[in-house]
Every structure is written in C-alpha cells, then in structure tokens.
Amino acid sequence: MAEVTEAQSKLGSVLRHGGTAAGTLFTLFGALQFVTPEQVAQLTAAVHDFNESIISAYGALTKMWVIIGPVGIYLIGKAGWNSASIKGISQKLMAIATGPAGPAAIEAQKAVIEVTTAVALDPAIPKSTEAKAALIDAVAAQPEVVGKISVTDKTLVDATNSSQVQKVS
C-alpha cells in the first residue's frame, strides 16, 4: 500500500467533513420536502463521486512529479535568473525607493543616490547623454533648486525636459 502524505490526509479530512456537511444539508432538504428522497440519494452519490475524483486527481498529480518537477524547477530558476538581472534589481530597488515611506524606502533612495553620485563623479566611467539628462532633470525637479541651470553642451540641453536648463557658451 502506498504511503499517505500529510497533505493527502488533510485533503481527505476536508473532503470527509465537506461530504458530511453536504449530506446533512441534503437530508435536511429531504426532511423539509424541498427535494424527493430519490434526489437526496442522487445528490449524495454525486458528492461521493466528486470526493473520489478529487482524491484520484491529487494522487495522479503526485505521481506526475517526473514531468511537473523539471518544469517547476525551470520556472523557479527562470524567475530567480530574471530577478538577478540588472533590470530586475533596478526595478525592485525603484519599487522600494518610490514605495511607502519607511526605513526600506530611505535605504533604497540612499543606495540610488550613492550609485548615481559614484558614476557621475568618476571621469573614467563613460556616461550617455540620456543618463546625464536624467540626472540634470532629477536635480531640476527638486523644490530646493531654483533659477536656471547652466549647461555647456547643446545636445545635453536638448535632451533634458526641464525649462530651467539653459545653454551657456
């Protein structure tokens, strides 16, 4: 005889209790003459068949681990792979930084600023015009920054969205 798992035992218990409740309800309906005795017998048989089909399906699924296991491992692995990508990490950091106020948001915001500062200040790191424009727009969007922001590169001025950014010779 096959070994019964804890999940199978719990499923069997739930189905037994549900079947008992349904059977009691059907008997009550029969006693109150909402349904005929034949209908009570048919409904009770249908509940029994339903319970057996659920148990059979669960048993079949547990034996399909050879097929389901590798697929599940692949899907979990892919999710882990995607979450560890630069895009996945940055999306998670952005979600935390722009989420509800709290210690996690503060730490995420500090991490973003520290990375941005390190990249901006290191002349050995090549920076795209888009990255520079995003940094200038972020600074211009701060309420404490007022007045014009002078930029010497016309291409960079054109790439920004802020009206505060102006070309200076």
Which DSSP string do the residues of 58-111 spell out, in sequence order?
HHHHHHTHHHHHHHHHHHHHHHHHHHTSHHHHHHHHHHHHTSSSSHHHHHHHHH
**pLDDT number for residue 62:** 65
**pLDDT number for residue 25:** 75
Choose from 24-38, 54-68, 92-106 the range with maximum mean pLDDT: 92-106
Task: Assign 4 a pLDDT band (cuts: 50, 70, 90).
Answer: low
**pLDDT number for residue 45:** 81
**pLDDT number for residue 156:** 81
Question: What is the helix, strand, coil percentage profile of the chain, to 5?
Answer: 70, 5, 25
**pLDDT number for residue 1:** 47
Mean pLDDT of 81-103: 82
Kindly report, residue by residue over 33-78, the tens digit of the pLDDT: 777 778 777 877 887 787 777 777 766 666 666 677 677 778 887 8
Residues 17, 22: Cα–Cα separation, whole Å: 9
**pLDDT number for residue 139:** 84
